[in-house]
Copies of this chain bind each other. A is one copy, B any other.
Amino acid sequence: MSQTDSEFMLRAIALAQAGVDSNAGGPFGCVIVKNGGVVGEGVNRVTSTNDPTAHAEIVAIRDACRNLDSFQLDGCVVYTSCEPCPMCLGAIYWARPDRIIIACDRNDAAKAGFDDAFIYDELCGSDLSQRKVPISTILRDEGLKVFQNWIAKPDKIEY
């Protein structure tokens, strides 16, 4: 890790502390960097905006994509004060940055009262019927028609 990596991570950690101090939400901050410069930042804003998706990484990804005018973050590095939860890690995979640098991990988050490790366990369990939020299937044939129309659509924008 370079001096620069430490500086960006200290910024992410400072954002996390500022979010706690201002009652924005949970103790999490994130900085996204491209070509040595910050292109997006986020703090957790779940409780202050009534948005359960407003985790620091999601806020930072949306900020960076807005600033870069792109739905992809190729060439970017995500510095986050804690290992991304499954929601945020999924978002990172869709945004496709080059790498992720974390300070704390999911077990540290669990000790501070956040369900990340539980959600990883739920998502990765092979038996969907055992999940705490059950999933049932209806109308698959009707749903598949939309996918068929998508596949056949000549002017679709893939992501």
Contacts and interface: CB of A to CB of B under 8 A. Distances in A.
A90 B101 contact: no
Size class of A's contact patch? 35 or more
A13 B146 CA distance: 7
Interface string A114-126: 0100111011100
Number of identical monomers bound together in the oligomeric complex? 2
B6 A139 contact: yes
A89 B99 CA distance: 22
A69 B159 CA distance: 32
Contact of A159 (B52, B61, B72, B157): B52
A88 B53 CA distance: 9
Nearest to A135: B100
A123 B90 contact: yes
A83 B140 CA distance: 11
A90 B86 contact: yes
A90 B93 contact: no
Contact of A146 (B17, B62, B122): B17
